[in-house]
Amino acid sequence: MDKELRVIISGGGTGGHIFPAVSIANAIKAKHPDAKILFVGALGRMEMQRVPAAGYEIKGLPICGFDRKHLLKNISVLFKIWKSQRMAKAIVKEFKPMVAVGVGGYASGPTLNVCADYGIPCLIQEQNSYAGVTNKLLAKKAAQICVAYEGMEKFFPADKIVMTGNPVRQNVLSTSMTPQEARQAFGLAPDKKTILLVGGSLGARTINESIIQHLDKVKASDVQFIWQTGKYYNAEMNKAVADFGGIAHLKVLDFISDMGAAYKAADLVISRAGASSISEFCLIGKPVILVPSPNVAEDHQTKNAMALVNKDAAIYVKDSDAPDTLLDTALATVSNENKLTLLSQNIIKLGLKDSAEVIADHVIALAWAEK
């Protein structure tokens, strides 16, 4: 085992893929500080900024998804896939990984295909209750498939599946702030009920509209709000609040880097139903209202949400109903101590701890197997 541990981690597109990938890398580094880890992502996607910010090198591929509405545009997509395959081959030959990890997203396809063709063991990490297209295509070539939900045998070979849960951002679990300190850090009163709204790393128009259309109720309430709009919507949302005259107990932010503090500040969270976010809520026992995005493959966010709702561990609001009902539901819930306690007690039972460390152990074992 004197050989240097070399790991490629590939995938991305959204925070739901990137944050688990970085957590796995951090866990590998904690176990093997001298390990060499290289990320491979898709050019123009958020991993190209988030991964270097986390301290890791990343190579970008020009890959993108098929355009199902404009079929002629797929000629250029096919060329990008071909070019990405060639670039991935060059990256793998130069880096010489001992093991490859795919977290879903466009870039993991060509990267893990090349690695498998070279006999490099591959591990897939599937975050959702409904497997993504790339991971389903890679499953036959993977040595192991780490999942977070039961019943994944309908997508993957049962003998390859390992139940690990989803890795989460370390700062979500490690914050030492009290709720009062966390609220003060956001410029809010320390002892008032607080609702956190997050639409994922890119924002969510429906959740944003649910607030903008009812600023009068927000202003009249005795509840504080921390609102992550997403960078695409931030200017528009800030202008709407300014035009309304401003609301002192509504904090509007484009992105929250310290989600540990944000969660600690909140009595209740309103969120999309991305798998990584749900895993975080389960681990910290945070009451949540889930508004699944309808704009995802196979409506997998609704499936993620219902896995909790059916155990009375979360509240579900349909995306199309949210502008009319979400704020009223949130205000009623945050003032109901019994409901908050029940949601918290039920959701924390579903958390799988130390997922990143468990996955890192599997990655390291594959790297050293028969070497």
pLDDT in tens, the chain (371 residues): 457 899 999 988 777 788 889 999 999 999 999 999 999 999 988 899 999 999 999 999 988 776 666 666 777 778 888 898 999 999 999 999 999 999 988 889 999 999 999 999 999 999 888 888 888 989 999 999 999 888 899 999 999 999 999 888 777 777 889 999 999 999 999 999 999 999 765 558 899 999 999 999 999 999 999 999 988 888 999 999 999 999 999 999 998 888 899 999 999 999 999 888 899 999 999 999 999 988 776 788 998 899 899 999 999 999 999 999 999 999 999 999 999 999 999 999 998 888 999 999 999 999 998 55
Cβ(158)–Cβ(148) under 8 Å? Answer: no
Angle at 354 between CA 348 and CA 359, to 5 degrees: 130
Consecutive H or E run containing 207: helix 205-212
Determine if residue 241 is left, alpha or beta; phi over 0 gives left, psi from -120 to 50 gives alpha, anything else beta.
alpha
pLDDT for res 70: 64
Question: Which whole-number Å values give the CA distances from 71 to 77, 112, 308, in the listed order?
Answer: 10, 26, 38
Structure tokens at 235: 């200017």
Strand blocks (E) in 139-278: 144-147, 161-163, 194-198, 224-228, 250-253, 268-271
Q: What is the structure's pLDDT at 19?
A: 86
Angle between helix 205-212 and 322-334 (nearest 10): 70
Q: How far apart are CA 87 and CA 85, in angstroms?
A: 5
263, 284 Cβ separation under 8 angstroms? yes
User: In angstroms, how far is the first alpha carbon of the chain from the final one?
Assistant: 8
Q: Give the residue among 30, 37, 86 at the shortest CA–CA distance from 61.
A: 86
Q: Strand locations in the chain, DSSP E?
A: 6-10, 36-42, 57-61, 99-102, 122-125, 144-147, 161-163, 194-198, 224-228, 250-253, 268-271, 288-290, 315-316
Could you tell me if 61 and 84 are in contact, meaning their C-beta atoms sit under 8 angstroms apart? yes
**What pLDDT shows up at residue 2?**
55
In the prediction, which pLDDT does 4 show? Answer: 87
Alpha-carbon distance of 131 to 296, in angstroms, equals: 12
CA-based torsion, 360, 167, 152, 116: positive or negative: negative
Q: At what angle do helices 108-117 and 74-95 cross, to 10 degrees?
A: 50
For residue 154, give the 3-state DSSP assignment.
helix
Q: What is the pTM of this model?
A: 0.81
